[in-house]
Amino acid sequence: MWKVFSYLKTYRVAIAAALFLTLSELAVELMQPLIMAKIIDDGILKGDLDVVKYWGAVMFGLALAAFAAGIANSFFSAHVSQSYGFDIRRRVFEKVQAFSFVNFNKFPASSLITRMTHDVTQLQNTVFMSLRIMLRAPLLLAGGVIMSLIVNWKLAMVLVVALPFLLFFLRWVLHTAGTMFRDVQDRLDGVNRVMRENLMGMRLIKAFLRRDHESSRFEKASDDLKVQTVSSLRLIEVSIPVLLLVMNIAILAILWFGSRQVNLGAIEVGEVVAIVNYSFRISSVLTIISFIIMAFSRAKASAQRIGEVLDTEIDLIEAEDTDQSINLQKGHVEFKNVSFKYPESDAFVLQDLSFSVKAGETLAILGSTGSGKTSLFQLVPRLYDVADGEVLIDGTNVKAYPIDTLRNGIGVVPQEAVLFTGSVLENIGWGKEGASEEEIVQAAKDAQIHETVEKLPDQYETRVGQRGVNLSGGQKQRLSIARALVRKPKILMLDDSTSALDLKTEAKLLAALRKYSCTTFIITQKISTAMEADHILLLDDGRAEAWGTHAELLETSPLYVKIVQSQFGEEGFQYVKGFKQTSST
Amino acid sequence: MSKGSNRPHPHNHLFGEKVKPKYWASTVKRIGSYFSNQKWLLSLVLLMVIISSALSLLGPFLIGVAIDSYIVKENAEGLTKLLIGLIFVFIGQSLSIWLQNYWMIGIAQQTVYRMRKDLFKQFHRLSISFFDKRQHGELMSRVTNDIENVSSTLNSSFIQVFSSILTLVGTIAVMIYLSPLLTIISLSIVPLMVFGLKWITKRTGARFKEQQRNLGEINGYVEEITSGQRIVKSFSQEKRVIEEFMVKNERLKESGYWAQTFSGFIPKLMNVLNNGSFALIAGVGGVLALNGKVSIGVIVIFVEYSRQFTRPLNDLANQFNTLLSAVAGAERVFEILDESREERDEEEAIELSSVKGKVEFKEVSFSYEGDDQTVSGLSFSVKEGETVALVGPTGAGKTTVVNLLSRFYDADHGQILIDGHDIKNVKRSSLRSHMAFVLQDSFLFEGSIFENIRYGRLDASDEEVIEAAKLANAHSFIQKLPKGYKTILNQEGSGISQGQKQLLSIARAILANPSLLILDEATSSIDTITEMKIQEALQRLMKGRTSFVIAHRLNTIQQADQILVLHDGGILEKGTHGELLNHKGFYYSLYNS
């Protein structure tokens, strides 16, 4: 948490300037009554107009100076707070970009979002406020007490006794409210989460008429937020009346003791009056203090939440001695006794897999749903680390590659086509930094999406909404394929990415892929696609059930035969049996 | 992006956009309208403010009395009595302050809660096409960042404003009583204040709005990138994403900087004007006193009062600040609330108590906004209980047909009839209550598997859920999960595969037990052996009810009563599997490719 506040150090100078300006303003404010007294005593009372004019001018000048200081303070304070917020957002975002998927699982997306926006806003506002008014409260407080001590230290002891109690109470409020506001922010996450789910699943919710159901979920979440916000705020607001009461009782004590002292002749009435006046001034600061407490306890909670993100240890990193010059040359992929399980679970998803795919070859992966196909894919670009064994590319363990080099050599097309807000051009170009328009169009042609794009209202400049909502499933898939192709990857990985394509388009696509000299991994359900591949890996429950070419598997694997029959029937089966690969390598 | 940002501003000033005060006032008024059902509680708060203000004046006054009448005169007994009385005054003061805050916080948060609820309900009333154009995160920002802005203002501002006004009125009254002339002089700064406030508001109002908009954009970007993290990582595009983020971050900083700087001027302006009025009173008062027009005592008291006069003004000015940012937040909330509810049913819309399942499309045409016609002149009819398969190349309009049938979108031309009723005259809720869907992207909620399947029919028992899962062939994999049906699926969906998600979606539709079944690529990610297993269940499910099936794997639809081959938004061929094969047309070539 303190780390988050420590980022303010960058702005030492501006902070010092802002505080200095606040102090000068305060000084002017304190000087004013003195000048006022001078005008009255030496000017008006003595009938000296020159004195009135002189001091009036001085007062006017000082007021202008204070104004200038205040305006300048605005610039400095806004600069510090906004730049501070900017820095934190940058740090958090950068940190999150470095997260592994294990790290991601710790923070739901909705929570990361609130941390990056709402929590930062809280901190920002607190900093701004601190630079402008925070100093006043303690200074006025201390000033009042010191002045009272000077006037009559015996009587002022009442204040000195009351003060520790006040400070202790404030500390308690700050601490308790901090914890409570932490909960408020977490519940805000909850509201955000339900909202996000609703936006993502809007179609389904409408289809199943679950508006009321969702409304009650949302109402529950926002009610939770409301209840917690109310009790946190109420706690804070208790502080003013309590502090006020304590101060007021202290004043009564001063009056009572004061009157006894006056009776004894040990003290002047004027002294009592002065101390009472100072006490009133101290209580007028209390409102500011409670305001500060509120801001600080919220800031504390937010800083904690941001600190959690920043302090997360990233578990998937390059080794320090990684050779940065190493390159992904050919694309020969080898799995050696690879086992894998997701870090948060105990069950192995892949077990003891060994195979090798030479550069330029195609591997088709088949298997029932949940057999580990997608998990296997994730190991090649090192989205996860293996639990056991090795994944080698061109004979080098993937862990030895710089992560950027490794992933830059790989083109991944995920199962669910994720697109980003932006034009079609931008979405395809996303695959390769600085891709030329020709490259993008070529990739689009190969992905069989060029013609479709040409028919769109603004062709390549057509805006695609989040998740590509205004495109059909097949169109999204092909855009996502084009995005991978534009990188001219050494290894292309298609995760069942042609499921929404009709067979004709798919065939054209696969034909176009052949001219890319890359190793291709393709997860598919379709035998017609698999039989074109150099190797077929049949997964069953995370193990290699069979490995070989189409012809070999027809002989050796009963499960494969079963799959073939499920797709072609008995009659088609005979046809498939006689199939010869068209792309013999 | 948002509608409000493009709203034309009639006056474009040299320094930033002008925020029309009328607009401003209506927003404040509208926030106020949320208080309306808490009037009596609000009156209590006002009462407490009055009491606490009165007591806070009474306290010092009585202390003055104590000093003058008892301490100076050394009357210990009287003093003790008075001090005891004062204890009650102070307790009363603290109590009334506490109560006013206590109630006000309740009122404010209830208001915020209602605002949030309204916003959420509105989201559900908007049509799907509204969401096509917006980023989720940008919309989410309105529910969190913008409403929270309103929230933090409401908590304190109302009381502050009211008590400031109260003090102000009281002080002015005393000042007039003391010296009308000096009062006029001290009030002469008020026009200057108003002018200054206007000058600043003109700048800050727009800037605060811009800040909230930029914050919304960042929210949108972060949400989108976090959702697509898998792609960012696979393509190792972290650097680019960070760069893009920084552009937005910079923009937010910039707008925030100016909003905050300008709004920081307000209290300072108040200060200088107050100081100016001091000087004025001292100067003019001095001259008047020299001429013997007022007594010196009056000037001294007057200066003291004019200090009192400035405090509430300062407070008000400070509240103005937070009010501005709250208005900016509220405006963005109201922007959504003012979107036309496209999903409003026709007034004479009817409920369908039961649906047999006869469906007819008559010359239906439709285009998504700005696109070429996706579907044009589409006509076909389906008898009750039939299974219709929609096939064709991607982008041919298959999903669109389903979207129109379920009224996610309304046809531009032509009619769609169910059991002879034009669906435009049927309530959407009634229409959809007879349908069940397995949609292309199988969305699951964060929650247990039980809850996710039960989404199909909320009152289904555990046994019924398990039965549906068995039919969908999902039971076996669910059982293998460590917590079985109680396994919590998280939002990012890790833990189960895409194919398994589809099985759960199918189970959900089976549980719903509808008259009309819509399967849009329901089995695309499922391996063919599993598919064969659930095919049987699906056949059984489709039996006796009208079903629309979209599939690319043609062997899954061979039993369909009718196959519509769509191409470029029109029907190219139709018939049964056998007929279409004999026809040796497009379907034939698709099938044999």
**Residue A106 CB neighbours (<10 A):** 13
Task: Give the domain ranges of chain B.
Answer: 169-342, 359-591
DSSP string, A482-501: HHHHTT--SEEEEESTTTTS
Residue A577, pLDDT score: 64
Quote the CA–CA distance of A134 and A128 in Å, as a whole number.
Answer: 10
The nearest alpha carbon in chain A to B298 belongs to: A40
Quote the CA–CA distance of B466 and B481 in Å, as a whole number.
Answer: 14
Quote the CA–CA distance of A511 and A445 in Å, as a whole number.
Answer: 12
Q: Do A206 and A354 have their domain in common?
A: no
- Are B238 and A478 an interchain contact pair (Cβ–Cβ within 8 Å)? no
Contacts of B383 (CB under 8 A, 6+ apart): B358, B546, B561
The nearest alpha carbon in chain B to A57 belongs to: B279
Quote the CA–CA distance of B107 and A177 in Å, as a whole number.
Answer: 20
**B98 in contact with A at a CB cutoff of 8 Å?**
yes
Q: Does residue A446 belong to any structural domain of this protein? A: yes
Q: Residue B387 in contact with residue B549, Cβ under 8 Å?
A: yes
3-class DSSP state of B488: strand
Quote the CA–CA distance of A405 and A318 in Å, as a whole number.
Answer: 11
| Phi, psi dihedral angles at A322 (to 5 degrees) | -60, 130
Confidence of residue B39 (pLDDT cuts 50, 70, 90): confident
- Confidence (pTM): 0.84
Q: Do A67 and A191 have their domain in common?
A: yes
Q: Residue B150 in contact with residue B115, Cβ under 8 Å?
A: yes
| Phi, psi dihedral angles at A547 (to 5 degrees) | -145, 135
- Are B395 and A475 an interchain contact pair (Cβ–Cβ within 8 Å)? yes
**A269: pLDDT strictly greater than 80:** no
Residue B17, pLDDT score: 41
Count of the separate structural domains present in chain A: 3
Q: Do A366 and A295 have their domain in common?
A: no
**B345: pLDDT strictly greater than 80:** no
> Tokens in use for A260?
């006894």
Q: Does residue A318 belong to any structural domain of this protein? A: no
Contacts of A298 (CB under 8 A, 6+ apart): A122, A126, A181
- pLDDT, tens digit, for every residue of A75-113? 998 999 999 999 999 999 998 888 888 788 788 888 888
Q: What is the mean pLDDT of chain A?
A: 83
| Phi, psi dihedral angles at A360 (to 5 degrees) | 90, -10
Q: How remote is the C-alpha of B223 from its chain's centroid? A: 15
Alpha carbons within 13 angstroms on the beta-carbon side of residue A241 total: 21
Quote the CA–CA distance of B167 and B160 in Å, as a whole number.
Answer: 10
A384, A406, A543 from A523: Cα distances, Å? 18, 21, 15
- Are A213 and B458 an interchain contact pair (Cβ–Cβ within 8 Å)? yes
pLDDT: which is higher, B118 or B238: B118
Residue A572, pLDDT score: 63
Contacts of A12 (CB under 8 A, 6+ apart): none
The residue-averaged pLDDT of A421-434 equals 81
**Residue A569 CB neighbours (<10 A):** 13
Q: Residue B215 in contact with residue B145, Cβ under 8 Å?
A: yes
Contacts of A246 (CB under 8 A, 6+ apart): A162, A165, A166, A169
Q: Does residue A494 belong to any structural domain of this protein? A: yes
Q: Residue B66 in contact with residue B82, Cβ under 8 Å?
A: yes
Residues from chain B that touch A214, judged by Cβ atoms under 8 A, are 124
| Phi, psi dihedral angles at B488 (to 5 degrees) | -90, 125
Quote the CA–CA distance of B280 and B268 in Å, as a whole number.
Answer: 18
- Are B234 and A465 an interchain contact pair (Cβ–Cβ within 8 Å)? no
Measured over the CA atoms of residue B266, residue B268, residue B270 and residue B272, the dihedral's sign is negative
**B12 in contact with A at a CB cutoff of 8 Å?**
no
The residue-averaged pLDDT of A485-514 equals 81
Confidence of residue B8 (pLDDT cuts 50, 70, 90): very low
Residue B95, pLDDT score: 94
Environment class of A582 (CB within 10 Å of its CB; exposed 0-12, middle 13-18, buried 19+): exposed
Measured over the CA atoms of residue B419, residue B423, residue B429 and residue B431, the dihedral's sign is positive
Query: A338: part of which helix (H) or strand (E)?
Result: strand A333-340
Q: Do A480 and A497 have their domain in common?
A: no
Residue A458, pLDDT score: 78
* Secondary-structure percent of chain A, ordered helix, strand, coil, rounded to 5: 65, 10, 25
SS (H, E, C) A398-458: HHHCCHHHHHHCEEEECCCCCCCCEEHHHHHHCCCCCCCHHHHHHHHHHCCCHHHHHHCCC
Q: Do A292 and A389 have their domain in common?
A: no
> Tokens in use for A100?
């592994």
> Tokens in use for B40?
């009596």
- pLDDT, tens digit, for every residue of A200-224? 878 777 777 778 888 888 999 989 9
SS (H, E, C) A257-318: HHHHHHHHCCCCHHHHHHHHHHHHHHHHHHHHHHHHHHHHHHHHHHHHHHHHHHHCCCCCCC
The nearest alpha carbon in chain A to B508 belongs to: A208
* Secondary-structure percent of chain B, ordered helix, strand, coil, rounded to 5: 65, 10, 25
DSSP string, A27-71: HHHHHHHHHHHHIIIIIITTT-HHHHHHHHHHHHHHHHHHHHHHH
- pLDDT, tens digit, for every residue of B430-483? 888 888 888 777 777 778 888 888 888 888 888 888 888 888 888 888 888 878
- Are A196 and B260 an interchain contact pair (Cβ–Cβ within 8 Å)? no
CATH homologous superfamily of B169-342 equals ABC transporter type 1, transmembrane domain (1.20.1560.10)
| Phi, psi dihedral angles at B390 (to 5 degrees) | -110, 120
Confidence of residue B343 (pLDDT cuts 50, 70, 90): low
Q: Do A87 and A153 have their domain in common?
A: yes
The residue-averaged pLDDT of B214-243 equals 83
The last residue of a domain, from among A257, A276, A311: A311
- Are B124 and A39 an interchain contact pair (Cβ–Cβ within 8 Å)? no
Residues 209-238 of B with CB under 8 A from A: 215, 218-220, 222-238
**Residue A258 CB neighbours (<10 A):** 28
| Phi, psi dihedral angles at A491 (to 5 degrees) | -125, 125
**How long a stretch of residues is chain A?**
585
Residue B408, pLDDT score: 82
Q: How remote is the C-alpha of A63 from its chain's centroid? A: 45
Quote the CA–CA distance of B366 and A259 in Å, as a whole number.
Answer: 91
Q: Does residue A414 belong to any structural domain of this protein? A: no
Q: What is the mean pLDDT of chain B?
A: 80
Tell me the residue range of the domain where A425 lies. Answer: 419-484
User: Quick one: which of A359, A333, A363, A337 has its CA closest to A348?
Assistant: A337
Quote the CA–CA distance of B375 and B398 in Å, as a whole number.
Answer: 9
**B522 in contact with A at a CB cutoff of 8 Å?**
no
Q: Residue A273 in contact with residue A147, Cβ under 8 Å?
A: no
The nearest alpha carbon in chain A to B371 belongs to: A457
Alpha carbons within 13 angstroms on the beta-carbon side of residue A440 total: 20
Q: Residue B562 in contact with residue B382, Cβ under 8 Å?
A: yes
Q: Does residue A320 belong to any structural domain of this protein? A: no
Confidence of residue B48 (pLDDT cuts 50, 70, 90): very high
Residue B102, pLDDT score: 92
Query: B329: part of which helix (H) or strand (E)?
Result: helix B296-337
Q: What is the dihedral of CA A215, A219, A221, A223, to 10 degrees?
A: 180
Q: Do A384 and A445 have their domain in common?
A: no
Q: Which of A83, A155, A187, A525 would best serve as a mutation to test chain B binding (most B beta carbons within 10 A)?
A: A525
Residue B19, pLDDT score: 43
Q: Do A182 and A251 have their domain in common?
A: yes
- Are B140 and A204 an interchain contact pair (Cβ–Cβ within 8 Å)? no
With tokens 């204070």, the residue in question is A66
- Give yes or no on whether B169-342 and B359-591 have one common fold: no
Strands A333-340 and A388-393: antiparallel
A90: nearest CB among B249, B261, B296: B249
Domain B359-591, CATH number (from 3.40.50.300, 1.20.1060.10, 3.30.70.100, 3.30.70.420): 3.40.50.300
With tokens 């900016």, the residue in question is B328
With tokens 């039980």, the residue in question is B450
**How long a stretch of residues is chain B?**
593
Residue A230, pLDDT score: 92
Residues 36-65 of A with CB under 8 A from B: 36, 39-40, 43-45, 47, 49, 52, 56, 59-60, 62-64
Give B561's DSSP letter. Answer: S
Residues from chain A that touch B238, judged by Cβ atoms under 8 A, are 97-98
User: Quick one: which of B504, B526, B509, B522 has its CA closest to B448?
Assistant: B504
- pLDDT, tens digit, for every residue of B136-193? 888 888 888 889 888 888 877 778 888 888 888 887 887 788 778 778 877 777 788 8
For residue A294, the domain's CATH number is 1.20.1560.10
Longest dimension (CA), chain A: 123
With tokens 């939440």, the residue in question is A305
The last residue of a domain, from among A459, A484, A509: A484
Quote the CA–CA distance of B117 and B113 in Å, as a whole number.
Answer: 6
- pLDDT, tens digit, for every residue of A517-563? 888 898 888 787 888 888 888 888 888 888 888 888 788 888 888 78
Q: In what order do the strands lie in the sheet with A519-523?
A: A410-413, A491-495, A519-523, A362-367, A535-540, A543-548
Most confident of A22-36, A233-247, A313-327, A564-578: A233-247
Q: Do A102 and A33 have their domain in common?
A: yes
Residues from chain A that touch B131, judged by Cβ atoms under 8 A, are 199, 202, 469
The residue-averaged pLDDT of B88-105 equals 92
Residues from chain A that touch B589, judged by Cβ atoms under 8 A, are 504
- pLDDT, tens digit, for every residue of A283-336? 877 777 878 888 888 899 999 999 888 888 888 777 777 777 788 778 888 888
The last residue of a domain, from among A484, A518, A538: A484
Confidence of residue B324 (pLDDT cuts 50, 70, 90): confident
**Residue A495 CB neighbours (<10 A):** 23
Task: Extract the runs of DSSP E, i.e. beta strands, from B472-526.
Answer: 488-489, 516-520
The residue-averaged pLDDT of B256-269 equals 85
Q: Do A478 and A504 have their domain in common?
A: no
